[in-house]
Structure 1
């Protein structure tokens, strides 16, 4: 058994009694060399704070921090990562569960393959739909056979994005996780993991099982336009990552794979193209969204040049009219798109 320290980052918010089940699963691991970093994102239910404080007093491996204000979901995920001190790192949600050998098996897999940055488990997904129906599904661990086999597995089953809860090398993930900020809040994990798969070595161990809970009733239901915008933004980023991260000989294949993933799991699965009317609507909406984005970016690029011209005219004694409040606004607002 490996003796490396593993850091577990658990960002929590109003998890209620499910936090207790998650903590029991982590503290019951056969691998004892870990630290558990809990960040309570200013929970308001009372139960979450009480349970986490009780467990922190009981086990010295737990480091509990209660945030004074809500940081947001992604910043809270990154906060626990930045606090990690171990050689390996994993994220843990407050409503999931793990087989008792989870840490032991994934750590051993990373020890076996020094060039791998992520070891993925087998995932058992329990989904509760809005109509009350429930579904169980098994998502295999990352297959052997190289990057092409892993890309194919990722395309065939969109729930493979749950591999993101595998075990990482801490130094690598601390350098690259902030890239998540570049992607949409909804679906950003899918895009980020796509980039990881394209450029890094990933391994799997089917002896470790992750029990993932997907409750659609607890999620915000997106409107048609929000779905279209989210899918379009994900498509753009997956396309861009495929073009920039793959060698020239593999770029077109990467773009085709990005198209396949996008169509299979975000257009077809969400029924966005179920009728000719919807196809027309999505095409027109994309054109409109693209026009809006183009106009905003054009304006943001022109404003600095107008400001520089105004400065030159002022220096020569002439008068110029500047955009109201432009000079007083911070740079990040002036160049926002």
Structure 2
């Protein structure tokens, strides 16, 4: 099916707001918009980790600190009808896509007003075309399937799935690359290569070329090594449009680095390595492009918003038994069935 035959209108339940809507006064000022979004991600996660230490979160958490430029550089090019599949390190992706820190905070704290009623945490989000799962590689078949479904229905849409370098060890990824190429899926696989898969350096677990793995299945593949938000934004603009118009899959590698631990208590990286990489922190780079007055205004707005978001989340009740007893879950076998 050629691009001209595809429909323009997405389903209503997949509609999304402009990620920069809360900074509408910045229209045309890309530098300010990107800094506002990145600042929101950074401060959300810093406050999230502080609440984790106080025992206010349900389950563990995986922060995106240091990789904010990836999320804003990719997701800002998406539009209504497109979908995103993310992983355990999803907060940055979601905050750009959904711009709802209030509901995300409530979900991570297991509160009834969370994105899925406080039942799933960050690894089980389902919200208006945005999906997460913590199973490495397991999100790729879902993204592939939905991209093909949208193609069959004639929708002018793409699916983006975010994976890490550790996912290259999962066989299901290569099955999906093969099928995506054979069937012509409008799928963009964004591989965030942060040099470490949990506590294993990538040079010890990835043989050969990341790009050639995708090219072996007939996919276009490219890469960018940068923590500069505007560089990444410029890089992905044409790529996403090409996937949309060609209705062909593509893999794109972002060589990046997380400045935080894998999870709250798991970091085997040499301290000197992490400290050296702080020179590439994307936030200071982007702040330099914004005037001091505007940067301070953005930072104050973000702090005020997050204060309200976390206060509202902490004031909510935990889900009731009735809420947890979702009809969709009835009949599923329990641990002793």
The TM-score, its normalising length taken from structure 2, stands at 0.26
Larger radius of gyration: 1
Relative contact order: is structure 1 or structure 2 higher (C-alpha 8 Å, sep ≥ 6)? 2
The TM-score, its normalising length taken from structure 1, stands at 0.26
Higher relative strand content: 1
